[in-house]
Amino acid sequence: MITPMPPYDPSAFPPFAVTVDLVVLTVRKHALCALVVRRGEAPFQGKWALPGGFVRPDEDLSTAAARELTEETGLCAHTPEEPATANGAHLEQLATYGDPDRDPRMRVVSVAHLALAPDLPAPRAGGDARHARWSPVEELLGTTAAGRRTELPAEPLAFDHGTILGDGVERARSKIEYSSLATAFCPPEFTVGELRRVYEAVWGVVLDPRNFHRKVTGTPGFLVPTGGTTTRQGGRPAQLFR
């Protein structure tokens, strides 16, 4: 005979909230930059933080992350399984952060997401953010791509957002080595030179143009010629790829 289980009592478990935090990366002026907002409310009022917010009762995690991305940048999001749109950003789940003391208000678990898009415009502040800006990740983290400390110490981000940002940057730096993720920082049609500058910005290195061109164009299926050319970089017309 099967003994019936006692009824489930939700009040027997402590309440906690779920948030989504966004590591939004783009390349501006040949530097890898992240979106940060100046908090207008406690806790950490006046501190820089990653954009994000609480998950609404009727939302799943990806919907909440996409909503926050749109509110902070005006961008639509697409997951790795979905095709990119003209005004879309690559969006993927990064990691979950649940230290009991990460938020002084209450127990809050954050599911961080990584968003990548090319040359994003100046952000607009919204919600409880007083200001929003793009900042080079080396300034925010206080380290170079090679892990060396920069001359100026980084202003600590609110909560554990410094850790989350570092994890997001490391994900981007490692993933472009074995995937086509670097093209998420490029327009739909781009030159090899534009793609090379993305790798240089994300990795913080200078690459040999000829070797880079030979490698990316010689890898079967990696780049597809569009048949067009552009002079937007100056000089001779450069071949466009997708």
Q: What is the pLDDT of residues 65-93, one digit of tens each?
A: 989 888 877 777 765 555 444 456 889 99
Stated as kind and residue range, the H or E segment containing 218 is helix 209-218
Q: Is the pLDDT of residue 177 over 80?
A: yes
What's the confidence (pLDDT) of residue 86? Answer: 41
Please give the model's pTM, rounded to 2 decimal places: 0.86
What angle (nearest 5°) sits at the alpha carbon of residue 77, between those of residues 76 and 83?
Answer: 110
Compute how many other C-beta atoms are within 10 angstroms of the C-beta atom of residue 56. 11
pLDDT per residue over 118-169, tens digit each? Answer: 877 677 655 555 688 899 999 999 876 655 665 555 689 999 999 999 999 9
pLDDT attached to residue 152: 55
The confidence score (pLDDT) of residue 149 equals 62
Bridge partner residues of 116 (DSSP): 25, 90
Rounded average pLDDT over 17-45: 92
